[in-house]
Amino acid sequence: MVRLQNDLKSSVRRSEEVIHEQALSRQQIDALVRKNIDSLMHLSSRIQRLEQKIQQDEIALNMLKNQAQNLEQITKGSQQDLFGKKDMHMTKIQELQMELESVIQDKKQLEMLMTELSGNLRQVTSRIDSQHSKLSNTVSEVIMTTKRLENEQRVAVPVIEFGSITISISLAPTSLRKPSLVSNEGKVRISGLATSLA
Span 71-94, pLDDT tens digits? 777 777 677 766 777 788 888 889
Average pLDDT of the chain to the nearest whole number: 75
Other beta carbons within 10 angstroms of residue 19's beta carbon come to 14
Q: What pLDDT, on a 0 to 100 scale, did the predictor assign at position 196?
A: 40
Query: Cα dihedral angle (157, 162, 165, 169), rounded to 10 degrees?
Result: -160
| DSSP H helices in the chain | 2-74, 79-171, 180-197
Whether the pTM exceeds 0.75: the reply is no
**What residues does each domain of the chain span?**
2-197
pLDDT in tens, 49-62: 888 988 998 898 89
DSSP 78: -
pLDDT at 126 over 50: yes
Reply yes or no on whether the pLDDT at 195 is more than 60: no
d(CA 157, CA 160) in angstroms, rounded, equals: 5
> What is the pLDDT at residue 183?
42
The DSSP string of 138-192 is HHHHHHHHHHHHHHHHHHHHHHHHHHHHHHHHHHS-GGGSPPHHHHHHHHHHHHH
- Coil vs helix vs strand at 1: coil
- 77: helix, coil or strand? coil
pLDDT tens for 135-165 read 888 888 889 988 888 888 887 766 555 555 5
